[in-house]
Amino acid sequence: MDKQENRGRRKPSRHYDIIYEPRHLKEYKMNNELLAMLEYIEQERGISKEQVVKALEQAILSAYRKSSRPASDLNVKVNLRTGELKAWARLKVVEEFPTEDEILLADAVRRIPGAKLGDIVEWEVTAADFGRIAAQTARQTIAQMLRKAEKDIVHDEFKDKIGEIVTGTVHHADALGVVVDIKKSQGIIAGRDRIPGEQFSAGDRISALLVKVDMEGSGPSLILTRTSNNFVRRLFEREVSEIHDGVVEIVGIARAPGSRSKVAVKSNDPRVDPVGACVGMRGLRVRNITNELGNERIDVIPYSSDLKTFIANAMHPAKLLDIELNPETKTITLHVDQENSRLAFGRKAQNVRLTQRLIQWNINIVIQESEEEEFARKKQEAATELASKAGVSAEAAEALVEHGYLTIEGLGNASAEDLAVIAELTDEDRAGIANAVAAAKAAASAEPAADAGTDGEQA
């Protein structure tokens, strides 16, 4: 029987208990949480309680106005000792029919015995739902202040490092970018600022150029890049002491990130070789930079005030036959032979494109033939013309040219025995040659007769 009775009773739910938790207990908990949060913010983030409270009061007042129809002259106050939040209004004492900005005289004198008609009194108007509004607004305001405070701290710490290399640890990487932990801050390398083909995992060490400290966005504050020309410049300054000290100077940089870079350098001390200083013993210095850039090839080029010399250095390893300059159009015409043409252009025309960026002139490349190539071309042209005029095959024409017969007139001077030794000629080819020679002789003999007739008519 007892079991049946117990089975029929409804057990009190936890939700039911929470709903009916005494209001003063909730407020007590919220007040303690607020005081603890204020203490934490002041000690850990360096933001004074007064500063946070002032922002809280303004935010809660704004939220309170939106949620109800309070008096127009209203303010919210936080008790720093107890954490209690109350709303106060300045109300005018009236005798009857009060508005939101007024209070009855009978009510006023109960709390303020000396109150009289027309007085302005400070009156607590904390509504029943004020605690809920205050709690929600306090969380949002504190979160916003923390974000802003963090960004201010990051800005103060890194504002003087813009344009410099910073090093951190990869937090995570995805298609959108690489998020990097740098001390207590975070930076991001967007997709467009990553070197093509680079892959990173959480925990990897990574260096990048600090471009900007973002104070507005909600994401990481430090904007980083690894594709900038200045990133290469700073890497050289870090690796090459002569550049850091000003003995060697970087004149210009042209870069295809992840593939190839050209760095023009000059020495301010005639005793120091700028290229040797940058490359380092056994190539160690430039190899360190190449490794940092994901095996990007680095060409260190000696700068020269003579433009032609500088161009020749920049186009290395291609050897140039001639360089023509047009200062009016800032155009350079480079003459190269067939052997060096591929080196001059480079893979996907990269060599010539990077040289254009480095020198900031337009470049045209003209491929010149070697003597052998020119001779072969002229032989081919002669054979093609002879085949057309003599009515012989291309193979026969090439054989005739090889034996020194370049024209129909030359074939006219050849005997049958001379042509018989050319194995490539068929009977049909010989017949065609004979016909072509006869036609040429007939045309030649007809010309004097035509000239004589013309002379007679003139006489």
Give tens-digit pLDDT for 243-297.
Answer: 999 999 999 999 999 999 999 999 999 999 999 999 999 999 999 999 999 999 9
Residues 389, 361, single domain; the answer is no
Residues 327, 394, single domain; the answer is no
Block residue for tokens 């025309």: 349
Block residue for tokens 């103060």: 156
Residues 334, 418, single domain; the answer is no
Nearest CA-CA partner of 408 in 424, 385, 428, 425: 385
In a domain, 315, yes or no: yes
Structure tokens belonging to residue 294: 């994901």
Structure tokens belonging to residue 88: 């106060």
pTM: 0.62
CA 179/CA 169 separation, integer angstroms: 9
What is the model's pLDDT at position 145? 73
Residues 361, 386, single domain; the answer is no
How many residues belong to the chain?
459
| Residue predicted with more confidence, 427 or 298 | 298
In a domain, 3, yes or no: no
Contact (CB, 8 A) for 385 and 292:
no
Q: Report how many domains make up the chain.
A: 3
Residues 357, 380, single domain; the answer is no
CA 253/CA 250 separation, integer angstroms: 8
CB neighbours of residue 332 within 10 Å = 21
CB-based burial label for 153 (10 Å; 0-12, 13-18, 19+)? middle
Longest alpha-carbon distance in the chain = 158
- The residue-averaged pLDDT of 56-61 equals 77
CA 209/CA 221 separation, integer angstroms: 14
In a domain, 223, yes or no: no
pLDDT digits (tens, 9 = 90+) for 431-457: 777 777 677 667 666 655 545 454 444
CA distances from 105 to 4, 91, 114, 212 (A): 61, 11, 10, 61
Expressed in angstroms, the distance from the first to the final Cα of the chain is 158
Residues 6+ apart with CB under 8 A from 442: none
What is the model's pLDDT at position 14? 34
Full domain range(s) for residue 442 = 376-456
* 3-class secondary-structure state, position 334: strand
Facing residues of 232 across strands? none
Asked whether residue 428 carries a pLDDT value surpassing 80, the answer given is no
| Residue predicted with more confidence, 425 or 103 | 103
Block residue for tokens 């430039």: 286
pLDDT digits (tens, 9 = 90+) for 182-209: 988 889 999 999 999 889 999 999 999 9
In a domain, 158, yes or no: no
Q: What is the CATH number of the domain that holds 123?
A: 3.30.1480.10
CB neighbours of residue 431 within 10 Å = 12
Instruction: Name the domain boundary from 140, 171, 191.
Output: 140
Facing residues of 363 across strands? 332
Contact (CB, 8 A) for 210 and 163:
yes
| Residue predicted with more confidence, 140 or 312 | 312
- The residue-averaged pLDDT of 380-385 equals 76
What is the model's pLDDT at position 36? 79
- % the chain with pLDDT above 70: 80
Model confidence band, residue 93 (pLDDT cutoffs 50, 70, 90): confident
Facing residues of 124 across strands? 88
Contact (CB, 8 A) for 408 and 376:
no
Residues 360, 382, single domain; the answer is no
Least confident range of 11-25, 65-79, 281-295: 11-25
CB neighbours of residue 91 within 10 Å = 24
Contact (CB, 8 A) for 121 and 93:
yes
State how far Cα 257 lies from the chain centre: 9
Residues 326, 434, single domain; the answer is no
Residues 48, 128, single domain; the answer is yes
CB-based burial label for 232 (10 Å; 0-12, 13-18, 19+)? buried
Block residue for tokens 């939700």: 15
Nearest CA-CA partner of 358 in 312, 327, 319: 312
Strand pairing report for 120-124 and 85-94: antiparallel
Angle in degrees, CA 45, 51, 57, rounded to 5? 125
CA 280/CA 96 separation, integer angstroms: 94
In a domain, 150, yes or no: no
Residues 434, 407, single domain; the answer is yes
What is the model's pLDDT at position 288? 95
In a domain, 33, yes or no: yes
Residues 351, 405, single domain; the answer is no
Nearest CA-CA partner of 29 in 40, 13, 18: 18
DSSP string covering 419-430: HHT-TT--HHHH
DSSP string covering 176-245: TEEEEEETTEEEEEEGGGSPTT----TT-EEEEEEEEE-SSSSS-SEEEESSSHHHHHHHHHHH-HHHHT
In a domain, 12, yes or no: no
Instruction: Name the domain boundary from 316, 340, 368.
Output: 368
pLDDT digits (tens, 9 = 90+) for 216-242: 777 788 999 999 999 999 999 999 999
Instruction: Name the domain boundary from 368, 390, 409.
Output: 368
Block residue for tokens 């991001």: 188
Model confidence band, residue 400 (pLDDT cutoffs 50, 70, 90): confident
Residues 346, 434, single domain; the answer is no
Q: What is the CATH number of the domain that holds 352?
A: 3.30.300.20
In a domain, 398, yes or no: yes
Residues 328, 399, single domain; the answer is no
Model confidence band, residue 28 (pLDDT cutoffs 50, 70, 90): very low
Contact (CB, 8 A) for 265 and 249:
yes
